[in-house]
Amino acid sequence: MNEIGLIGLAVMGQNLALNIARKGYSVSVFNRTSEKTKEFLEERVKNEKIEGYHDIKSFVESLKKPRKIILMVKAGKPVDDVIQELLPYLEKGDLIIDGGNSYFKDTSRRIKELKEKGILYLGMGVSGGEAGALHGPSLMPGGSIEAYEMVKDVLLKIAAQTESGPCCTYVGNDSAGHFVKMVHNGIEYAIMQAISEVYDIMRKILKFSPEEIGDVFERWNNGELNSFLMEISFKIMRYKDEETGKHLVDLILDEAEQKGTGKWTSQTALDLGIPTPSLSLAVEARSLSFFKEDRVKLSGKVKKTYPDVKLDKEKVIKDLENALLFSVFTSFSQGLWLIHEASKTFEYNIDLPEVLRIWKGGCIIRAKILDFLREILNENKENVNLLDSDKSISFLMDKLDSIRYVTNLAKEFYIPTLVLSSSLDYFLSMVEGNLPANLIQAQRDFFGAHTYRRIDKEGIFHTEWEPID
């Protein structure tokens, strides 16, 4: 009898199964396409105690009771399909853990449906890609605490380990785990886009080669910007295509794909009324990138006259570093605010500093700055978007001139900076006591009698702005 079952032997499932087995647990695995199970056992399993099954019944029967089954299958309908296949063989008290990038509302529904059948369910965000899954991912499990307790020991062991502890915690009730993973991905989209915008400026304005940009990125990675995304970016810059000998990044088509988590983050933020402009514009940037043909066609129709300026390259590089730090900070600020609001609305009971702690290792957005963000949040847990602190204001104000300069410079050279600019605008909006929303209210009242409130007296007002007949 094996201790853990795992279904879905694609990239993530294979590596997670090996990780679990290497921590001393016996694992049963199953994959819809049997061939993959065979290949996995033959090619990757060495001394690990992993057994493959080719039908779901014998897979379930191979597990110790109460059974603990991790799903690493494609998000969406496949998760429901697998649950339906499992159900006839499961018993009350068994536990299913969905480790995929499931939509949090699907997870809430599944938790409810399975609870009625006496089956426990955890929705667990897993971040770190294939290397993370193998060597230690960041795990974000949510659901009932009873379900978490059943697998806590395994999860804590297989998670990435940092000086602040294992990158796994009980995130909260219901779909809290998948919600936090979704926002993690939203922040990931924003940081990836911000890095790409900075790269674009170095490439097109400073005329740097990928090699030179790699050197700058590596330098930044040794400082405050130290992070997984910075690290892979400098490695990408230096990577040469075997076939052509050219830098591979220059040969990659500029159409960014997406699987949905970034879009869900923005949609949810809009639903909950929390401003996440940088996260949303990162999704928009990917959508814009997809219109390659139109972009190429239109670029030929626009005459671009570039300013004749002599730039101090070292200064621009310092400004770019500051601008990126500004954008990374404000992207986390927006994401954490959204998680906090969701925690209240859906009664998840999420501990935000704990979320930052489990993002410190294993995951794609792991970064040195997380310690600083935790420090700010730990000083005042009500400071949910991190902005209400002298430390954050001074951090951002130190970089304000840089991000202003960088975004203006980019515009002079016709370079779009959706995330960098929106990070700046988010901050400027949040520190502005008077926004022009008064005019919007007046317009709404003018054409739709939507009413408005005044700053000089209490009440709800409507004005006949002009006679309608």
Ligand X SMILES: NC(=O)c1ccc[n+]([C@@H]2O[C@H](COP(=O)([O-])OP(=O)(O)OC[C@H]3O[C@@H](n4cnc5c(N)ncnc54)[C@H](OP(=O)(O)O)[C@@H]3O)[C@@H](O)[C@H]2O)c1
DSSP state of 240: B
Q: Annotation-wise, does 73 bind a ligand?
A: yes
Residue 55 engages ligand X in binding (rule: CB under 6 A): no
Element (H, E) at 70: strand 68-71
Tokens 């921590």 label which residue? 23
When binding is defined by CB under 6 A, the residue of 74, 203, 238, 313 that contacts ligand X is 74
DSSP codes joined into one string, 435-456: -THHHHHHHHHHHH---B--SS
Catalytic residue among 3, 51, 188, 354: 188
Q: Annotation-wise, does 128 bind a ligand?
A: yes
Q: Annotation-wise, does 101 bind a ligand?
A: yes
The three-state secondary structure class of 28 is: strand
Q: Kindly report each contact of residues 278-281 with a partner whose C-beta sits within 8 Å and lies 24 or more positions away, as own/partner.
A: 278/190, 278/194, 278/327, 278/330, 278/331, 278/334, 278/419, 278/422, 278/423, 278/426, 279/186, 279/187, 279/189, 279/190, 279/331, 279/334, 279/335, 279/338, 280/422, 281/190, 281/193, 281/418, 281/419, 281/422
Q: Which is nearer to ligand X, 177 or 214 (CB)?
A: 177
Backbone angles phi, psi at 325, to 5 degrees: -60, -40
The three-state secondary structure class of 68 is: strand
Rounded to a whole number of angstroms, the minimum distance from the CB of residue 132 to ligand X is: 8
Stretch that binds ligand X, among 9-17, 304-312, 333-341, 457-465 (CB under 6 A): 9-17
**Alpha-carbon distances, residue 337 vs 125, 323, 334 (angstroms):** 19, 21, 5
Read off the tokens for 460: 């709800």
Stretch that binds ligand X, among 76-84, 341-349, 437-445, 457-465 (CB under 6 A): 76-84
Site string for ligand X, 19-48 (x = CB under 6 A): ------------xxx--x------------
Rounded to a whole number of angstroms, the minimum distance from the CB of residue 129 to ligand X is: 4
Q: Annotation-wise, does 462 bind a ligand?
A: no
Element (H, E) at 185: helix 176-204
Rounded to a whole number of angstroms, the minimum distance from the CB of residue 356 to ligand X is: 19
When binding is defined by CB under 6 A, the residue of 66, 78, 353, 416 that contacts ligand X is 78
Residue 10 engages ligand X in binding (rule: CB under 6 A): yes
Residue 75 engages ligand X in binding (rule: CB under 6 A): yes
When binding is defined by CB under 6 A, the residue of 17, 20, 63, 82 that contacts ligand X is 82
Look up 181 and say whether it is catalytic.
yes
User: Which residues ranging from 111 to 140 are in contact with ligand X (CB under 6 A)?
Assistant: 126-127, 129
Contact call for residues 335 and 183 (beta carbons, < 8 A)? yes
Residue 142 engages ligand X in binding (rule: CB under 6 A): no
Q: Annotation-wise, does 11 bind a ligand?
A: yes
Q: Annotation-wise, does 450 bind a ligand?
A: yes
Look up 197 and say whether it is catalytic.
no
Enumerate binding residues for ligand X (CB under 6 A). 8-13, 31-33, 36, 72-75, 78, 81-82, 100-101, 126-127, 129
Q: Which residues are catalytic?
A: 181, 188
